[in-house]
Structure 1
Amino acid sequence: MSDQAERLVELYDRLVERLYEVRMDLEKTSQQLDLDKEIERLVEAEQEVERLTREETELLTQWLKRDLKDLRGYLAETGLGVREWLAQETQLISEQFMHWLRQVADPSILDARTLQEDLDSRDDSTLYHAGELAIAGTFVCAGCEKEVQVAYTHRLEPCHRCDGRVFVRKTDFSEASDQT
């Protein structure tokens, strides 16, 4: 890959991260994210810092808008997730990047889906949910079985791999029963 192509890849990923950060900041103030305008604003800011050509700026803007529009449409139409949209082994992509994509794509679709999942699992008192406080331990995501270590009493966050919101505490007993 050429130096220019590598630079654009790094910028693309950094822009997705920045979009995520803007979305999180706006969420605190209950403001809506105008994705197209924010992409344009962020790319223009990068143009000044990275000394991008006008063509590079336009390409990055088009690529981000295209990909996020496609992802949003896919999520809305299918009810599936980023993993299925990528249609490849997602272990090749960092879990953090997938988390950013999900959050930037369309939080309203994700919010409705996670609310329903939370409601469906509330009858089982042995389950832990994102947003709840939990004492230190190891928790296993019910969606993808990723283990999450919590070193102290902490508010559980959604799984960074699949955005799952339901967890099971892993105990020595649960390990012993798995071996039988």
Structure 2
Amino acid sequence: MSNEDPKPHLTEAYARMLERAKEAMESAGKRLEQAVDDARDMAQELGELTREEADLLAAYVKRDLRDLGQYLSGDGEDLGGWFVIDRTLVEARIFDLLASVADKTSLALAEFAAGSREVPSEWRTGEITGPGVLACLECGHTLQMRKAGRIPPCPHCHATRFRREHGTNEA
């Protein structure tokens, strides 16, 4: 079995979707969920993604933003604590995008998280996520995602289910 990502274009599409959602919120004053939906539709219309890929990626972006919103509306002090890992290890583009969304729309993020009854508590192998630390639900081993990408199986026990770690900023 290969560790190669079978669809590497999805990792870049995650960042593009986040960028487009941020722009829609800033320029058109759209709500966060609508901005992500519009970014999803644009990716499909431009032929960058199939409808299935666009829907899946939009769900991943919303999941990560909901989790970020919950973190910031709780006792989360800053975005660095959400990433857990040293900020310098996070892909600058993704950090800047998420920081911009968090800075300009922390209230919108909190409302977005609160509006969802089903905030996912699980991330799975094969899904795309932004940078941060994921902990294996089977053995507790942590996986550092330094940039947006497809979640691999746990390198320790090969399990496929994770939770996002939150903590204090190390940078």
Tell me if the contact between 1:47 and 1:53 (Cα under 8 Å) persists in the aligned partners.
yes
* Percent of paired sites with the same residue: 31
One-letter amino acid of the structure 2 residue matched with residue 2 of structure 1: D
Once superposed, which parts of structure 1, at least 4 consecutive aligned residues long, lie more than 3 Å away?
A: none
**Structure-1 separation of matches of 2:64 and 2:100:** 14
**Which runs of 5 or more residues in structure 2 are unaligned?**
108-168
TM (norm. structure 1) is 0.51
Q: Which residue of 2 aligns with 1:107?
A: 104
SS at match of 1:88: coil
TM (norm. structure 2) is 0.53
**Which runs of 5 or more residues in structure 1 are unaligned?**
111-161, 163-180
RMSD (CA atoms): 2.4
Q: 1:12 to 1:78 in 2, by over 3 A?
A: same
**Structure-1 separation of matches of 2:46 and 2:6:** 17
Shift of 1:108: 4.8
Shift of 1:67: 0.5
Query: Which of the residues 5, 16, 21 maps onto 1:2?
Result: 5
Aligned length: 105
**Structure-1 separation of matches of 2:51 and 2:90:** 29
Q: Which residue of 2 aligns with 1:40?
A: 37
Taking the TM superposition and a 5 Å limit, the aligned residue runs for 1:80-159 are 80-105=77-102, 107-109=104-106
Tell me if the contact between 1:17 and 1:100 (Cα under 8 Å) persists in the aligned partners.
yes
Q: 1:38 to 1:97 in 2, by over 3 A?
A: same
Deviation by residue 1:52-109 (Cα, 9 ceiling, x = unmatched)? 2332122111101110011011011124122110111221223342122122246354
Bigger relative contact order (CA 8 A; separation at least 6): 2
**Structure-2 separation of matches of 1:34 and 1:108:** 10
SS at match of 1:78: coil
Q: Which of the pair is proportionally richer in helix?
A: 1
Tell me if the contact between 1:72 and 1:106 (Cα under 8 Å) persists in the aligned partners.
no
Shift of 1:19: 2.1
